[in-house]
Structure 1
Amino acid sequence: MTSDLSIKTHTVYTTAQVRELDRLAIEECGIHAYTLMERAGQALLRYLKLHWPKAQRICVVCGMGNNGGDGYVLGRLARQQGIKVTLLTLAEPANLTGAARQACQDYFAAGGVIDNYQGELPDVDVIVDAIFGTGLTRALEGAYKSAIDTINQQGTPVLSADIPSGLNADTGQVFGNAIKAHVTVTFMGLKQGLLTGQARDYTGQIHLESLSIPPALYKRVPDAQYTLSNYQLRQSLKPRARSAHKGQFGHCLLIGGAAGMSGAIRLAGEAALRVGSGLVSIATHPSHAAFLNLMRPELMVHSLDQSESLRTLMLNKTVLAIGPGLGQNYWADELLRLALTTDCPLVVDADALNLLANLRWHNERWVLTPHPGEASRLLNCTVPDIERDRVAAAKQLQQQYGGVIVLKGAGTLVASAQNVAFCTLGNPGMASGGMGDILTGMITGLIAQGLNLQQAAELGVYLHAHTADQAAQRGERGLLASDVLGTLRAFVNPATPKGST
């Protein structure tokens, strides 16, 4: 996944919305379908040359529809620039219609040769996947399945047109098998299925090309989904006044850490401090309360021998969080029930979510941060059900439980009642213990500083992934949650403008 998408915020669309953009461009703006196809082919060639500037031999594999038409245009343009093109088709050219038929005829008229795919691919520098676009709705079979398997096994770099063939453009799930692209150039709008779930293993680096669609058209299509970007960071974390004091930045209370699980609540507490909370208190099990802050004395640690002790600690707090290391015994259940009575904003994570699944509460003043396993328990379904359509699952969680939902995983989603935000950052090194506890502490600390629930969840998710990517520059395997804490401070302190004091 490219970090380019995280530099600025992009609207994210469903397949139906992109089709509507296409219709508006053709029917209301008078842009011919073949003109759009020409622009798509030009964009593909531009990115092919950007990523593989020395490529002299390419193989373009074309399917039936407009995606195949994009491939024919690319093939013609590449030949004009002296690149040797082998074009293999999986569809009888005589059966092509519309703009795709014209693209095929123009390629042939320009001297291009069209061969049927026979189960083998030539030795080339780059393979271009122009087999299927966003219209695919079923598992592949026959020559199509064979072609995708062969391309994936070839070991040659792959450029996909619009979406890797075999990938569902709305859910990110794979129809049996799909192209594993190195680069994907997607057209008109950023499809939600490129950004979450299994798609992260297939898209490679993503580039977005609008095909010069008039900006006014985009205002005609709903824009309630978007990517998280550096914009959130710049807007939410302004440099502090020189006269600032700790009382202006909130007091967090984080609840968790059953016997033998002190590390989770300690990580969450330190993360709340590192994002800038003025004060951070921890309510935890008596077995380790006395020494939990030995290595981080800035944390104020309180022993909870009984749940009623929590009632006093909850007074005068800005925000509460519960769950890291909480466990699922009677002690944990009593603490959660008491925490749910607070009037403060509440962040709920980990075992508190597993307990919450039995209570079925609805609250507009909380942030829930489930991973797919916890989400499946909250929705009484299976993990594959969640992963089959992560966007739908996040929306369902929000409708059922209220507030703001952070559905963690590859392509983390932040769902509020109005919006869904997509995180395009993050890496496999984050699949290690304690990472979720860090995120809980970050979101809690951001709420303490005055951000609303949606702002804090979105910024917390973005910062969490961004700092993890920086920490992973020395390698993803072996990345620790505490490594993220080590890089966090630099990213929550925007540069002070020149001339300020």
Structure 2
Amino acid sequence: MKTTICTAAQARLADKTAIHEHKIPSLILMEHAALGCTKIIQNHLQPGDQVLILCGPGNNGGDGLAIARLLHRPCIVYAPKVSSMSNDERIQWAMLEKNEQVHFSSFKETLSLLQSVDVIIDALFGNGLSRDIEGDYKTLTEAVNASDAYVISIDINSGLDATSGKILNACIISDLTICLDCIKTGQLINEGKKICSKLECIPIGIPQTIHRDAKTAILLDPMEAKHLLPQRPDDGHKGTFGKALMIGGSYSMHGAITMAARACYQSGIGTLTCFVPDCIHDILAQKMEFAMLKSGEDKNGYFSNTAIEALAKETGKYDIVTIGNGMGQQESTKKLVQKALQLSTCTLFDADACWAIREHPELLRQDFSIILTPHIKEMTYLCHRSLSEILQDPFGTVQEFCASYPNCTLVLKSDITLIGHKDQMYVLHQPNSALAKGGSGDILCGIIAGLYGQCRNAFQAAAVGTYIHSCCAKQKKDPACFMPEDLIHQIPNVFQSLREG
């Protein structure tokens, strides 16, 4: 089952569609949610633990009341006045009111108990919250955060904006958040990624077709990556698996194109050609026996403006062209980017190529596929947003860009990575500081290019390539000690685990 990632509005619409169009009663959805949450909560409880459930005035509070009933053990419940409850919450209240295992506490008693209970269940507010938390609820929130108890939030941490990840005056910090039906975008960005220590997403009975039809973002997980990994037929030949041309390098950065090329070849490309400045031709010839080498004239250690003459001869020979790795922000880089696009085949822009295109974004409107792999700073070259605006709203940034450039696949790299194409989006949520080193992006470029040669689908190659790249960093090694070569050496192991998984 796919794990989807929704804004608050998308999550509410999915819930509404399930109820009104698919005729699934809201109480059934609530019961499914409570059953799933209870199963997870029980895994975190010891026999003598004292449990306090905080319920707010809405369906999130109804979830909390249902959990209290389904736990089948003594627990303490703080709940609002019945008059302020939602209709479904009132029904849950009626089912729980005479339960002898449940003790209902007052506000004052609850505050005192927060200092001594072992587990706190936060069911105060759900993803519909849009106003600041104030008054008694703010006091409760601050007391929960001061407690030593293990805190579990239901659906979303109370006080967190489900879309933007901003704190609404006060917010409960949890050890675990159990997301209902989908992860919310606000749990992955801004303050949300610090507030939500750990996320688990459970199905509650909302049909998957609702999210599919709404084109909601999809979490890249092992099952999704396995599905996306291109098949490799036994009777294939080198032409079957694609021909790649990688344009890049300079005298001071010949390692960038070397790492990109190694990753590309290790990821399954059929044949590989590197086009580099004359000044590093012999260096790369010593480094790489597997790649064919072509070169263009250089000046001061970089491609010269006349290098485009040699590149013009390569038209029609390749399935994918990559450009940018180690080229430098030079005038020649701009000219080579424009010439590379004239080869009229799938083109991957990385590193300095993203800078080179900033003055002529109209060049991104081609009849063939273009892949761009910018980090947040490089993204400012490609859109009309500042660094802070992109950080505040990465989902909106990717959606806006992909709508403007329909033949582009965008890989926006950060602690979470978003892969977008038209109205589709994958989200990789596997932060790892081991990747925060020079050379990491060059290796990602190579992996994606190698995969594209095998599937000829830019969005598919970018998504599974990003996942493989991240998994290559999961080693028993301190992230500070990570070397780019470690990533390349792990590529075969990650491929194999996906094939066998």
Fold shared per TM-score above 0.5: yes
CA 302–220 in structure 1, closer or farther in 2 if over 3 Å, else same: closer
Instruction: Considering Cα pairs closer than 8 Å and 6+ residues apart, tell me whether 1 or 2 has the greater RCO.
Output: 1
CA contact (8 A) 2:55 2:123 kept: yes
The answer for the alignment partner of 2:103 in structure 1 is: 112
The 3 A distance-change label for structure 1 pair 32 and 312 is closer
Matched, 1:266 2:269: no
Partner of 2:365: 363
Which residue identity does 2:240 align to in structure 1?
Q
The reply on whether 1:387 has 2:391 as its aligned counterpart is: yes
SS at match of 2:144: helix
Matched-pair contact (CA < 8 Å) for 1:59–1:128 = yes
Is residue 230–residue 455 contact of structure 2 (8 Å, CA) maintained in 1?
A: no
1:479 corresponds to 2:500: no
Within the candidate set 156, 163, 168, 1:170 is matched to 163
Shift of residue 105, structure 1, vs aligned partner = 5.1
Q: Separation in 1 of the partners of 2:444 and 2:316? A: 24
- Partners of 2:83 and 2:451 lie apart in 1 by 60
Letter in 2 for 1:384: S
Which residue of the partner structure matches residue 101 of structure 1? 90
* Segment of structure 1 superposing worse, 269-278 or 475-484: 475-484
Taking the aligned partners of 1:400 and 1:347, their CA distance within structure 2 comes to 18
SS at match of 1:134: coil
Cα pair 1:252 1:279 within 8 Å, conserved: yes
SS of structure 1 residue aligned to 2:318: coil
**Comparing 139-148 and 349-358, the one that deviates more:** 139-148
| Aligned position for 1:4 | none
Number of residue pairs aligned between Structure 1 and Structure 2: 482
Q: 1:205-224 counterparts in 2 under 5 A?
A: 205-213=198-206, 215=207, 218=210, 221-224=213-216
Measure the CA separation in 2 of the matches of 1:199 and 1:104.
30
Q: Which residue in the other structure is 1:203 paired with?
A: 196
1:439 to 419, 444, 453: 444
- Structure 1 residue 400 and structure 2 residue 400: aligned? no
Equivalent AA in structure 2 for residue 454 of structure 1: F
Given the two structures, how large is their TM-score scaled by the length of structure 2? 0.85
Could you tell me how far apart the structure 2 residues matched to 1:50 and 1:157 are?
Answer: 12
8 Å CA contact 2:60–2:125 kept in 1: the answer is yes
The residue number in structure 1 matching 2:301 is none
Change (3 A) 1:281 1:146: farther
Equivalences for residues 32-43 of structure 1 within 5 A: 32-43=25-36
Q: 1:293 to 1:199 in 2, by over 3 A?
A: farther
Q: Tell me the amino acid that sits aligned with residue 113 of structure 1.
A: F
Stretch deviating more after TM superposition (355-364 or 307-316): 307-316
Q: Which residue of 1 aligns with 2:454?
A: 449
Deviation at 1:385, TM superposition (A): 1.1
Please give the root-mean-square deviation of Cα atoms over the aligned residues, in Å: 3.0
How far apart are residue 393 of structure 1 and its match? 0.7
Deviation at 1:264, TM superposition (A): 1.9
Q: Is 2:402–2:423's contact at 8 Å kept on the other side of the alignment?
A: no
Please say if residues 17 and 221 of structure 1, whose CA atoms lie closer than 8 Å, have aligned partners that are also in contact: no
Match of 1:238 among 228, 231, 239: 231
Q: CA deviation at 1:138?
A: 4.1
- Write the letter of the residue equivalent to 2:487: V
Report the Cα distance in structure 2 between the residues aligned to 1:335 and 1:279, rounded to whole angstroms.
22
Are 1:12 and 1:225, in contact at CA under 8 Å, matched by a contact in 2? yes
Q: 1:85-124: CA deviations, max 9, x gaps?
A: 34345x5554323222343455443242223154882233
Task: Find 1:376's aligned residue among 371, 374, 380.
Answer: 380
| Partner residue in 2 for 1:425 | 430
CA distance in 1, matches of 2:454, 2:66: 53
Is there any run of 5+ residues in structure 1 with no aligned partner, and where?
1-7
What is aligned with 1:320? 321
Answer yes or no: is the 8 Å Cα contact 1:226–1:422 preserved in 2.
yes
1:156 aligns with 2:133: no
CA contact (8 A) 1:368 1:406 kept: yes
Residue segments in structure 2 that go unaligned for 5+ positions in a row:
299-303
How far apart, CA to CA, are the structure 2 residues paired with 1:198 and 1:340? 40
Structure-1-length-normalised TM-score: 0.85
Shift of 1:394: 0.5
* SS state at 1:254 partner: strand
Task: Specify whether residues 321 and 496 from structure 1 end up closer, same or farther in structure 2 by C-alpha distance, changes over 3 A only.
Answer: closer
Deviation (angstroms), 1:143: 4.5
Report the alpha carbon displacement of residue 11 of structure 1 after superposing the two structures with TM: 3.9
Indicate how the Cα distance of structure 1 residues 244 and 38 shifts in structure 2: closer, same or farther if over 3 A, else same.
closer
Contact residue 412 and residue 419 of structure 2 kept, 8 A: yes
Say if 2:52 and 2:76, in contact at 8 Å, map to a contact too.
Answer: yes
Classify the secondary structure of the residue corresponding to 1:112. strand
Question: What is the letter of the counterpart of residue 151 of structure 2?
Answer: V
Q: Paired residue for 1:330? A: 331
Q: Give the CA deviation at 1:161.
A: 0.4
Give the aligned residue type for 2:489.
G
Letter in 1 for 2:284: L
Where 1:377 maps in the other structure, the secondary structure is: coil
